[in-house]
Structure formats: structure tokens, C-alpha cells
Structure 1
Amino acid sequence: MTNTPETKKASVLSKKLIRKCYINWMCFNLSLYQPETMQAPAMVKMFGDIREDLYPNDPQKQQELMARHLPFFNTEPFIGCLIPGITLGMEAEKARGEDIPEDLITSIKSALMGPFAGIGDALLPGTFIPILLAIACGLSADGQITGAIFYIVAFLAVMLPLTWFLFNRGVAFGAKAAELILGNDLKDDIISALNIVGLMVVGCIACAYANINLGFQYVKDGVVIVDLQSLINGVWPKLPVFLAALGTYYLMAKKNWSATKMILLYLVIAILGYFSGILTV
């Protein structure tokens, strides 16, 4: 008796489904936006509407699909729409029968969200939108509505074609990337590399945005003899931030603390630290 190789299903991604996912992402990317998941609910909504198309009559696979995209995700939603597109392309290949590990999909999301957030924020809120607003304000200097109309029309005229193109390129790239990685048996190497990139992104974000200043100083005759914060910065800059990040990881990963609990904890520490003089602004 001969064993016939398992045939893979044809791609389930029609233009209609891609368009539905694109509209979902663009309309809901900031829905239910909160510190614990950020834009993850938008990903869940996007895949929730096509779960039956990807895994028809398979509730277990559908639940796994939804759970895969519930963890934290955050990027610039316009330029960064390439990432949901890539994810959609890879999920479609997985649903088609390709042996794509869940870790590969989540690692790609985690690795790309930071860089695209930086690029998107620099290009759009940092450059494109201020230019449009400057022109719009000039047109509305006499109280005319022309400026508002110009801004809306110009913004949509640029962003709708751009985001549609990026989303579709992402879908195509995700499918090709899955084929390339699986064809060359690079799954484990790629996952490890992406995990490292993701950790670097998280570390850079923590160092760039978090700041903990220790207030301990030894003063003699009105002169600061020892400044603990300056000593630490000379040996290991941002060491308090690093320790706080490790503590956050431990409490959230090992003790299952929620982001809300962590925010409340740091709020209490900040208040007590400030009034006790241990921490300074």
C-alpha cells in the first residue's frame, strides 16, 4: 500500500477577504486601546471576521487563531499596516496546511512593530501631518472651512492608496516569507533571531522612554560630595530602569500580574519615592 503525500488546500485569501481585513484594521486599529494589549484587539477583530474562512467548522483552530493575536501589539497604524498584512499572509499559509509554528508568527509581529512605529511616527505625525496642518491653517486664517476640507481630502488621498498598497504587499510578502523559511528549514533560526530583535526593541523602548532618578546625595557644607545617580550613570547608565524592567518581567511572566497592577504598583512607588526623597523628578 502506497502512501500519497497530503495535498495542501488552495489559498483561502480572496481579494474580498483581503479587503475585509484591510477595512477592519484601518477602522479598528485603535479600538479598545489600553496599556495591556494596545492594538491587539484590532488584530483579534480582523482575524475574528475571517476565522470561518481560514478554519471552517473547526472551533479549536479558530480559538487558537484568536488567542495567538490577543497578546500585546502596538505600532504606527498607517505605515505599520504592513505588519497585519504580513501576519495575514502567514496565517493563510498556516491555514492552508503549511507547517508554520505559532512562535514564528508572533515573533515576526514583535520584531517588526517597534521599527515600523519609529518609521511611521517620524514620517506621519512628525512630518506629513504637520505640513498638511500648516497649509490647512493658512487656508482657514479668515475663518473659512476650506482648510478643514483640504486637510481631510489631502490626508485621505495620500493615506488610503498608500495603506492599501502596503497591506497588500504585506500579505504577499508574508506568504512568500513562509514558503522561503519552510523551504530552507530555517524555522528555528528565524524564530531565535526574531526573538532577539524583539527583546532588543523592548529594551530600547524601556531605555528611551523610562526614567528613574535616585535622589540620594551626600552634601557637606552646601557642596554635593556624592551623587548616587551620577555614580550609577558613570558605571551603568539606566541601571535603575534595567532593574525595574527585570522586575516587571518577573511579576508579569512568573506571577501573572496584569499591566493594570503594574501601573498601580509603580504609581505607589513613585509617590512614596518622591515624598521620601528616594526618587527625584
Structure 2
Amino acid sequence: MSEEKKLRKKDLRSILWRSFALQGAFNYERMQNLGFCYTMIPAIKRLYDKEEEQSLALKRHLEIFNTTPVAVPTIAGISAAMEEQNANHQDFDTSSINAVKTALMGPLAGIGDSLFWGTLRIIAAGIGISFATQGNLIGPLLFLLLYNVPNLLVRIYGLKFGYSVGVNSLERIQKEGLMDKIMSIATTVGLVVVGAMVATMLKVSTPLKFNVNGAKVVIQDILNQILPNLLPLVLTLVIFWMIRKKFSISKLTIAIIFFGIIVHWAGIL
């Protein structure tokens, strides 16, 4: 009987430190996938002896990935625990690893961006600036401490929590059929967050106006009466449809830039 494979504290520390390089190779095709794959290498090397198994694990983590960086250790901890289960159980469903990653990255991105980028960073900057404007050197230092100390603590304990939850609860979750429910809930939350981001962060409007029998008709006002933020929604759905049809992300990005320039020059948007 072969010895059960187990990750060590040293491996988890390596995963934590590697997570800081997440966006070092960001790309518009699969976003943070290279950084996440790099983060998972210590676990993959520890758990898989054969080169073929390591190769398959690396390919698993080269799928598209994008979330707020502070949440990455939590997802990496869960992924590491699932890889550990896979290394010790031949009947483990490897597709569930990426399924869980995909289900978690959206909701955690929304929570992380709101708490850290949208709240903590602003508060820390405000406090730091109030000292800095008085010529006090503690201003920038206070900003860095107020933002980075919670950031680091969430990363450290997020990794421990993710790995602990994965190791202790994964088998029970699978047996009781809770995985589908968790993924469904997480996906729903993620879609709500993405929908809110489209409405608040994507600004698309039209300046078109017409005179009808002496009355000025503003197209944007009509669209707002039909559905607020209708144009951002339509643009998002069109781009989503094109991605589903396997359009190249790089070509699509360039096309959007040129399209934006042309319609703005023409006075349409």
C-alpha cells in the first residue's frame, strides 16, 4: 500500500509567497492563469512524482482565472487540498478542481474588490493623506501599514482556511451532493456581482438628438426609460456572445478599441 501524499507547511508557505507574483504575467487571453499556475507548482511537485501527472496538473491550472489578488491564497489552498485528494484517490473527478475555482473566483473578486480596493484602500489613503499634508512622514507609512497588514493577514489565514476546508470537508461535501449547491450559489452571486459591475463601471451612452416638429428628442433619454444602462448591457451581451463563438480575445480587444474610436468620431456613442 503506497504512502498517502501530504502537503507540508513548507509547501503552503511557498504557495503563499508565489501568490504575490499572480499578475506578473497577466494576459488578455486567460488573465491571471500563468500566475495561478506558478502559485500551484510547489503543491504539484510535492503530490505528483510522474512527469505526466505533473503536466496534467499544470494544464488544469492554465485555464482562465481572474479574481482579486488578496483572495488567491484562499482559492489556492482549496485547489491544493483538492489536488491532494486527487493524488491519493484514483477515482477523484479532476474536473471539479477547475469547477470550484471558477465558482469561487467571481464572488471572491466582488467581495475582495469592494472591501480592499473600494473601501480599505480609500480609508487608508485618506488617513495617510491627512498626515502627509501636514508634512508628517508617518502619512505614507501609515497608509502602507493600514492597507498591507490586513491584506497580508487575509492572505495568510485565507490559505490556511482554504486548505483546511478542502482537506476536512471535501469528501463529505462530495458524498452529500453539496458541491453542486455550493457551485450554484457561488455562480449566482458571481453573476449578480458581474451584472452590478456592468451597470456601474461600463459607461456607454449616445449623444444622438433629433428635432421632431420642433421638439427635441434625446435618444439616450428614451433608452433610459426603456431600461437604464441599456447600451452597456447590450454591448456586454454582444461581447459575451462573440467570446462564446470562440473569437480571439486579442483580436476582439483591438476591434473594440477601433470600434469605439470610429463611433465616437461619428458622434454615435
**TM-score grouping bracket, smaller chain normalisation:** 0.7 to 0.9
Shift of 1:164: 0.9
Structure 1 residues 222 and 71: alpha-carbon distance in aligned structure 2, compared to 1, 3 A threshold: farther
> Where do residues 63-78 of structure 1 align in structure 2 (5 Å cutoff)?
63-78=55-70
Task: Give the whole-Å Cα distance in 1 for the aligned partners of 2:188 and 2:92.
Answer: 19
Shift of 1:101: 3.4
Task: Give the whole-Å Cα distance in 2 for the aligned partners of 1:151 and 1:277.
Answer: 43
Structure 1 residues 169 and 192: alpha-carbon distance in aligned structure 2, compared to 1, 3 A threshold: closer
Q: Give the match for residue 234 of structure 1.
A: 225
Residue type of the alignment partner of 1:120:
G
Farther-moved stretch of structure 1 (196-205 vs 161-170): 196-205
Q: Give the match for residue 274 of structure 1.
A: 264
Task: Give the whole-Å Cα distance in 2 for the aligned partners of 1:200 and 1:132.
Answer: 28
Shift of 1:181: 2.2
Shift of 1:24: 0.7
Q: Deviations over 1:133-156 (max 9, x none)?
A: 455455555756554455555655
Q: Deviations over 1:57-81 (max 9, x none)?
A: 142x323322222233222222553
Task: Give the whole-Å Cα distance in 1 for the aligned partners of 2:146 and 2:34.
Answer: 29
Q: TM-score, normalised by structure 2?
A: 0.81
Secondary structure, in 3 states, of the residue corresponding to 2:203? coil
Q: Give the match for residue 243 of structure 1.
A: 234
Task: Give the whole-Å Cα distance in 2 for the aligned partners of 1:267 and 1:258.
Answer: 14
Residue type of the alignment partner of 1:43:
F
What is the RMSD computed on CA atoms of the aligned residues?
A: 3.1
Q: Give the match for residue 212 of structure 1.
A: 204
Task: Give the whole-Å Cα distance in 2 for the aligned partners of 1:144 and 1:109.
Answer: 44
Structure 1 residues 102 and 268: alpha-carbon distance in aligned structure 2, compared to 1, 3 A threshold: farther
Q: Does 1:16 align with 2:16?
A: no
Is this contact kept in 1: 2:22–2:39, CA < 8 A?
no
Structure 1 residues 198 and 14: alpha-carbon distance in aligned structure 2, compared to 1, 3 A threshold: same
Q: Give the match for residue 248 of structure 2.
A: 258
Structure 1 residues 114 and 166: alpha-carbon distance in aligned structure 2, compared to 1, 3 A threshold: same
Q: Deviations over 1:188-224 (max 9, x none)?
A: 5555555555444444433332233234433136632
Secondary structure, in 3 states, of the residue corresponding to 1:30? helix
Q: Deviations over 1:215-272 (max 9, x none)?
A: 44331366323x3333333233434333333332332232x32322121111111111
> Where do residues 103-118 of structure 1 align in structure 2 (5 Å cutoff)?
103-118=95-110
Farther-moved stretch of structure 1 (260-269 vs 44-53): 44-53
Q: Does 1:171 align with 2:163?
A: yes
Q: 1:32 aligns with which of 10, 25, 30?
A: 25
Q: TM-score, normalised by structure 1?
A: 0.78
Task: Give the whole-Å Cα distance in 2 for the aligned partners of 1:74 and 1:237.
Answer: 28
Aligned length: 269
> Where do residues 98-247 of structure 1 align in structure 2 (5 Å cutoff)?
99-137=91-129, 145-152=137-144, 157-188=149-180, 190-192=182-184, 194-220=186-212, 223-225=215-217, 227-247=218-238
> Where do residues 55-70 of structure 1 align in structure 2 (5 Å cutoff)?
55-59=48-52, 61-70=53-62
Q: Deviations over 1:111-161 (max 9, x none)?
A: 332332333233333443444445545555575655445555565554434
Unaligned runs of 5+ in 1: 1-6
Kindly indicate which of the two structures has a greater share of residues assigned to helix. 2
Secondary structure, in 3 states, of the residue corresponding to 2:216? strand
Task: Give the whole-Å Cα distance in 1 for the aligned partners of 2:22 and 2:105.
Answer: 13
Task: Give the whole-Å Cα distance in 1 for the aligned partners of 2:79 and 2:8.
Answer: 16
Unaligned runs of 5+ in 2: none
Is this contact kept in 2: 1:111–1:201, CA < 8 A?
no
Structure 1 residues 70 and 199: alpha-carbon distance in aligned structure 2, compared to 1, 3 A threshold: farther
